[in-house]
Structure 1
Amino acid sequence: MIDRHYRRLPADGDLQVFESTMGTASNWDSSIQHGSPPLALMTKAIEEFAADTAPGLRVGRLAMDILGAIPVAPVKVRAWVDRPGSRISLMMAEMLATRPDGTDRAVARLSAWLLATSDTTDVVTDRHPPLVEGEARENAHGWMGAPGYLESVSWRSQVTAEGEAAVSWMSPLVPLVDDEPMSDLQRLAMVVDSANGVGAAIDPTEFLFMNTDTTVHLHRLPEGNDFALRARGSVGPDGIGVTTADVFDRRGFIGTSAQTLLVQRR
């Protein structure tokens, strides 16, 4: 039974260490991790680091690059400031996995722009109206029955008209790390990497379309545990694709995401 994504282990110097559970396993291959748990874990590292080093700043953009297959195995995480500033700061987080020879390799990296907050309530602008959750499709996605990460998230794909972008409401069902509290931003990170699956333009039984990255821009911080992704995928003629999505919480539109895809026939 999946009851968390990671278990905290003793630290290794300045590196936080975590045991990866089967709740992190990818729908493509159960021996490697889905992108969402690593994104959420590195977001947690940055938020915790920023709480001490960047008071008054909040995340405006998250950009994760997947540098290699992330094994369902112990991983190490660290965070640091790459570009300090009182109004604008660039923070980084990195996830490492251990090779068979005992050396570590970087498997994912997250950059986050943090910006100073101020009162702009009088000029708030959303370019999309709020989404209301409606009727869910009987089959939530093309990976029904796949073990791992997909079991740890509630995935309610909406009934949409022909030609419209696909919409799914998603909610994390288990904690990120043990019983440690999760921020709403970490909850969003736990589902937003799934935009690739929500907006799938081709049949996953015939094609692999794995994302190499996930970038999220947020004009408002997320609230709550329920998030909607309105996503579309595009595939080019040479095996490369892109998925873009509008991101919503229960209050309304909060930002956008984009992913680059490697597309291959099975």
Structure 2
Amino acid sequence: MKGSHYRRLGTDGEYQLFESTDYTRSNWDREIQHGSPPLALMTKLIEELTGDAPMRIGRVTMDILGAIPVAPVRVRAWIDRPGSRIMLLAAELVAARPGGPDRAVARASAWLLATSDTTDVATDRHPPLVEGDKDPMPHKWEGATGYLEAIDWRKQYGLDNGSPVAWMSPLLPLVDADDMTQMQRLALVVDCANGAGAAIDPEQFVFMNTDTTVHIHRVPVGNDFALRARGSIGPDGIGVTTAEIFDRQGFIGTCAQTLLVQRR
């Protein structure tokens, strides 16, 4: 498989310019992007701005401000709160609006924390997950083109602690042939928690997330990640998906998403 989620187009002042490829297309609507590539792209710019500082992301949140078109986008990152031990960085993704001015369609914020050696007190509250045989029907969007072609989605048989489990691996680079950091690899799949933990039938309901918040207590390792996810649907059209995140070595963090639930 060849290609990438974005192609670099150059710069415009403080913005970096990218062409969005077909591999960003959402399974909900082919004209908009899935949430994972924009999250990974803004994470990339945040990490590049950090440079060689002895800090790493402990939490990153993406808020989706509007439909993110499969079109050229402008992205910038900046330091919101400087510090030597704790730093808040932010990024925004801007796209053209038909018949109007460009607007921000997604924003991200990330807390970066100073690293130190705490190996002697490191703990995980969940044991590692072991990948088993995959379900031949990984999700309700089987056969959808776009983003879902660019990841390997391996739903597991049965439930774990009452929740579905899916192992996922990104298959393509994020930007051109650039190397990806471990955090960027995770960001390329973590927004799938909503689909992995679906509590209702997507053929009868739309349940799109407005945000994704990821807390990571350990740097991800490798290219394979498991989401043990579960959606909760309220009585008034609002839901939440929460998930525990694993790599091959064990538990690495959590994510949560707010859902707008509507009947088709």
TM-score band (shorter)?
A: over 0.9
Q: Specify the alignment match of 1:108 in structure 2.
A: 106
Structure 1 137/114 Cα, relative in aligned 2: closer, same or farther at 3 Å? same
Which of residues 241, 250, 253 in structure 1 aligns to 2:251?
A: 253
> Is the Cα–Cα contact under 8 Å of residues 25 and 149 in structure 1 kept in the other structure?
yes
Which of residues 191, 194, 197 in structure 2 aligns to 1:193?
A: 191
TM-score when normalising by structure 2: 0.98
> Is the Cα–Cα contact under 8 Å of residues 2 and 22 in structure 1 kept in the other structure?
no
Q: Tell me which stretches of 4 or more aligned residues in structure 1 moved more than 4 Å.
A: none
Per-residue CA deviations over 1:9-28 (Å, capped at 9, x if unaligned) read 02111100000001000000
TM-score when normalising by structure 1: 0.97
1:40 and 1:155 mapped to 2: Cα distance?
A: 18
2:2 and 2:68 mapped to 1: Cα distance?
A: 19
Matches within 5 A, 1:137-176: 137-161=135-159, 164-176=162-174
Matches within 5 A, 1:64-103: 64-101=62-99, 103=101
2:71 and 2:27 mapped to 1: Cα distance?
A: 16
Letter paired with 2:237: G
Q: SS where residue 177 of structure 2 aligns?
A: coil
Q: Specify the alignment match of 1:12 in structure 2.
A: 12
> Is the Cα–Cα contact under 8 Å of residues 86 and 116 in structure 1 kept in the other structure?
yes
2:2 and 2:106 mapped to 1: Cα distance?
A: 23
Shift of 1:164: 1.8
Structure 1 66/8 Cα, relative in aligned 2: closer, same or farther at 3 Å? same
Q: Is the deviation greater in 64-73 or in 43-52?
A: 43-52
Q: SS where residue 46 of structure 1 aligns?
A: helix
Q: Specify the alignment match of 1:240 in structure 2.
A: 238
Q: SS where residue 103 of structure 1 aligns?
A: strand
Letter paired with 1:134: G
2:185 and 2:217 mapped to 1: Cα distance?
A: 17
> Is the Cα–Cα contact under 8 Å of residues 207 and 265 in structure 1 kept in the other structure?
yes
Q: SS where residue 84 of structure 2 aligns?
A: coil
Identity of aligned residues (%): 70
Per-residue CA deviations over 1:10-50 (Å, capped at 9, x if unaligned) read 21111000000010000000000000000000000000001
> Is the Cα–Cα contact under 8 Å of residues 197 and 228 in structure 2 kept in the other structure?
yes
Letter paired with 2:24: T
Per-residue CA deviations over 1:65-93 (Å, capped at 9, x if unaligned) read 00000000000000000000000000001
> Is the Cα–Cα contact under 8 Å of residues 32 and 71 in structure 1 kept in the other structure?
yes
Shift of 1:222: 0.5
2:2 and 2:62 mapped to 1: Cα distance?
A: 25
Letter paired with 2:39: L
> Is the Cα–Cα contact under 8 Å of residues 2 and 23 in structure 1 kept in the other structure?
no
Shift of 1:99: 2.1
Q: SS where residue 238 of structure 1 aligns?
A: coil
2:137 and 2:262 mapped to 1: Cα distance?
A: 24
Per-residue CA deviations over 1:103-162 (Å, capped at 9, x if unaligned) read 320000000000011110000110000001001001000101111100100000001248
Computed over aligned residues only, the root mean square deviation of the Cα atoms, in angstroms, reads 1.2
Q: Specify the alignment match of 1:48 in structure 2.
A: 48
Gap runs ≥5 in structure 2: none
Letter paired with 1:43: T
1:77 and 1:162 mapped to 2: Cα distance?
A: 38
